[in-house]
Structure 1
Amino acid sequence: MEIRELRYFVALAEELHFGRAAERLEMAQPPLSRALAQLERRLGVTLLEGTSRKVALTEAGAVLLAEARVILAAVAAAERRTRQAARPRPRLVLAVKSGTGGVLLADLLDAYRARPGAATVDLLLCEAHQPQQALREGRADVALLHLPFDSAAGFDTEVLCTEGQVAVLPVAHPLAARSEVRAAEVAALPDLPMARWPGPDGCYPQGPGAEVRNLTQLFQLIALGRTTVVVPESAGADLRRDLVAVPVVDAAPVTTVIAWPPQSRLRATADLVRTATDR
């Protein structure tokens, strides 16, 4: 298979329409149809079924779509990292979820900046599940991930810290005056259903809680009395004055790790990881 064919197929599989896929690829529709037919002949399977305009994925097509996305992401990552390595002074992209990291992130950046020959570090502020996606796609060189909420599968990691969790509540809520709460108490609040985060596929689980994507949005909804959440202690630090963080004594600990692709050979990445673990 050729990379070009995989790009054509992914566009078709995502658009499920030859005209829209051709427009997205900036090409005519007939060569796109011929490329798909050639790919199916080479593989000996049917990837798409339907008319020349509207199509649907077969089971084999669904498998190839998942594999092709991984391959194309790896190709894009390889291209970016190769160019990065050729720069006289490389730049690193550090992916973090918006509103997380806190003091740990600030200390890491300050310590790394003080190293002789330190690269410029650009922050990529992400929403839920995006830091690991940015690593896989080569849009980031390193990321801060929070286990068990994030998946570190396929990455090299070093543990930076482990912390407890807190419930974030409106300051006037009855539980806000407590010194600690239990997870079941927070989950059972009828007036503040637990917020819902999107999964890796972008879909939200079923439930009555508000759909959220980042902490800024989430904290505003909590202050309005629409939802609540249990988050790592560091995410509950320096809250706005109309919110309070109450320790959840039986919540599972959260471990923050610094993660990077195992195939990375950038010295700047290694230096940033070493700085993080030294601190």
Structure 2
Amino acid sequence: MNQIQVQEIECLLVLAEELHFGRTADRLGCSQSRVSQLVAGLERRIGVRLVDRTSRRVALSRFGTQFVEEVRPAYEGLAATVARARERARSGTLSRLRIGFHGSIYEEVIEAFRRLREHHEVALELTEIPLGSPFTAVLGGRVDAALVELPVGEPTLTTGFRFPPQEQLLAVAARHPLAAADRVHIEQLAELDILHPLGDAPDYWRAARVPPTTPGGAAIRSTTGITTVQEGLALVAAGDHGMLVCRPLTERAARDDVRYVGIEGFDSTSQLGLVWCRDRESRQLGTLAELLADEFARPPGGRTASG
């Protein structure tokens, strides 16, 4: 729409509230004749009378009433968009989301971030959070949301998007006896010292990362904590430690001194989630969740490369 069409619609909406040409002119800061011109121009464009005028009263016609009902939401949405743009122009910044993450970020996530910025004008501030403290930053308000491993049992948190579940593998040193096998049995985890995330995570979350026992009841030893994935891989490569990792990480963290083997009889999977506080939910977070769902719904060949 050009400028005069927007003025015509604005004039009709005000007239629909006032039902008086003089009061409408006062609100718009123009003359009564200008109000008449704008209404008449809109009626010519649409091809139907929108306002019934007599010497005693002003009323919307049946067509005018329906048109006002249909056009008002669109006009108000346009006005709100313009107001937000002006506010951003005054402040010199875009809307911003602070996102915490641990580990690596999938290409699909980067693409969702790109679309959020380019199509929804939301900038992102990324902060890596400790591997074993998945919820502290978001609960404390230091980030607006976090990409963390599930489960989430905190009553004040909600999961806006769940990533596809991923198979878990065992990372061992290339020189370790288990490195020669394609798969190991879950009971063999009791032969290793499995690294665990170090931090203030709740017990239920820790148990999901490193089970305390095998299905057969053998204790799984875990004496050493780590704060990052890279720290864990270095410890695995240097000694007799093992580490449970998800398959996508193995594709992004290939090392000559580390081998990744499957685990027979292990029905646990790794799954990430986009998590935020229930009382701090926002339109921007909802949009990000929708973009992530869209990216992961596409077949691999149809996904857009990250930019």
- TM bin, normalised by shorter chain, reads 0.5 to 0.7
Deviation at 1:202, TM superposition (A): 9.7
Equivalent residue in structure 2 for 1:255, among 264, 267, 271: 271
* 1:198 and 2:198 aligned: yes
Report what 2:248 is aligned to.
Answer: 234
Scaled by the length of structure 2, the TM-score of the pair is: 0.54
- 1:135-174 → structure 2 map (5 Å cutoff): 135-148=138-151, 151=153, 153-157=155-159, 158-174=161-177
* Paired letter, 2:288: L
Q: 1:165 to 1:199 in 2, by over 3 A?
A: same
What whole-Å deviation, never above 9, does each CA across 1:204-242 have from its counterpart, x for those lacking one? 999563332111111111111141111222233232221
Deviation at 1:120, TM superposition (A): 1.1
Equivalent residue in structure 2 for 1:218, among 225, 232, 238: 232
**Structure 1: stretches of 5+ with no match in the other structure:** 1-85
Equivalent residue in structure 2 for 1:95, among 97, 100, 121: 100
Scaled by the length of structure 1, the TM-score of the pair is: 0.59
Report what 1:58 is aligned to.
Answer: none
Q: Based on CA coordinates, which of the two structures has the bigger radius of gyration?
A: 2
Equivalent residue in structure 2 for 1:109, among 93, 113, 116: 113
What whole-Å deviation, never above 9, does each CA across 1:118-156 have from its counterpart, x for those lacking one? 3111111011243411111111111112124x6554222
* Paired letter, 2:262: P
- 1:56-67 → structure 2 map (5 Å cutoff): none
Checking the alignment, whether the CA contact within 8 Å between 1:169 and 1:243 is kept in structure 2 is yes
Q: 1:90 to 1:111 in 2, by over 3 A?
A: closer
Checking the alignment, whether the CA contact within 8 Å between 1:167 and 1:247 is kept in structure 2 is yes
What whole-Å deviation, never above 9, does each CA across 1:165-219 have from its counterpart, x for those lacking one? 0101112222222221222212323xxx111333526999995633321111111
C-alpha distance in structure 1 between counterparts of 2:164 and 2:149, whole Å: 10
SS, match of residue 277 in structure 1: helix
* 1:184 and 2:187 aligned: yes
**Structure 2: stretches of 5+ with no match in the other structure:** 1-89, 207-211, 213-219, 296-307
Deviation at 1:264, TM superposition (A): 2.2
Checking the alignment, whether the CA contact within 8 Å between 2:199 and 2:227 is kept in structure 1 is no
* Paired letter, 2:94: R
Checking the alignment, whether the CA contact within 8 Å between 2:172 and 2:240 is kept in structure 1 is no
Cα RMSD for the two superposed structures? 3.0
* Paired letter, 1:275: L
Q: How many residues align?
A: 189
What whole-Å deviation, never above 9, does each CA across 1:224-279 have from its counterpart, x for those lacking one? 11411112222332322211211223330122211111122432222111111222
Checking the alignment, whether the CA contact within 8 Å between 1:196 and 1:207 is kept in structure 2 is no
